[in-house]
Amino acid sequence: MKIITTSLNGAFIITPERINDERGFFARVFCRRELEKIGLIPDVVQCNISFNLKRGTLRGLHFQKSPYGEVKIIRCTSGAVFDVLVDLRSDSATYLKWFGTTLSHDNRKMIYAPKGFAHGYLTLKDNSEVFYQVSEFYSPDHEAGVRWDDPLFKISWPEPVSLISKKDSSYPDYKINEIV
């Protein structure tokens, strides 16, 4: 697997290195040693999937507050999504910056999101499924989010949003130096 830096400190794209033959291919998509070698947190305590029926569905921007902040490794297993991370770590050089990339069944890319990042995505195809490996157990008392269209972030979503939950659409704008 290749681990590629992004424009956000601590966030990475992970791409599988395929070994092809007449049957198809084999690729490793997770390796604790390789992640630890570059200082990433490889702990996985929970895996989740999110299935989305319609193109234009937006989920996010979500995070869990400390002490239950999550590292996430996110992959699109069917369809395609525009996946977005926002750095909410006030001590980071990339504080309040965002990064977005297309994750799809075809490109098989994954994104590594460290603790202190908000995460969300917009589906680019009907019947898109997203698989998450998460480093922390879900804690409803620490669940939080910020608005997907917060003017502070200026996220450039590639398509219009046609479906979003009441909960996600009711998140507040981010407050500078909010503790995540």
Catalytic: which of 121, 132, 171, 174?
Answer: 132
129 or 33, higher pLDDT: 129
Can you give the pLDDT at residue 19? 82
pLDDT in tens, 166-178: 999 999 999 887 7
13 or 36, higher pLDDT: 13
pLDDT at 138 over 80: yes
Can you give the pLDDT at residue 24? 86
Q: What percent of the chain has pLDDT over 90?
A: 81
Instruction: Give the mean pLDDT of 14-27.
Output: 85
Q: Has 95 been annotated as catalytic?
A: no
pLDDT in tens, 80-106: 999 999 999 999 999 999 999 999 999
Q: Has 105 been annotated as catalytic?
A: no
Catalytic: which of 62, 112, 119, 121?
Answer: 62
CATH superfamily of 43-169: Jelly Rolls (2.60.120.10)
pLDDT at 140 over 90: yes
Name the token pair of 25.
């291919």
pLDDT band at 39 (very low <50, low <70, confident <90, very high): confident
pLDDT band at 124 (very low <50, low <70, confident <90, very high): very high
Q: Tokens 């947190």 map to which residue?
A: 41
pLDDT at 179 over 80: no
Name the token pair of 142.
């620490």
Q: Which residues pair with 91 in a beta bridge?
A: none
Strand ranges of the sheet holding 128-134, from the earlier edge strand across to the other edge? 2-5, 12-15, 110-113, 72-78, 128-134, 46-52
Contact 82, 158 (CB under 8 A): yes
Can you give the pLDDT at residue 22? 93
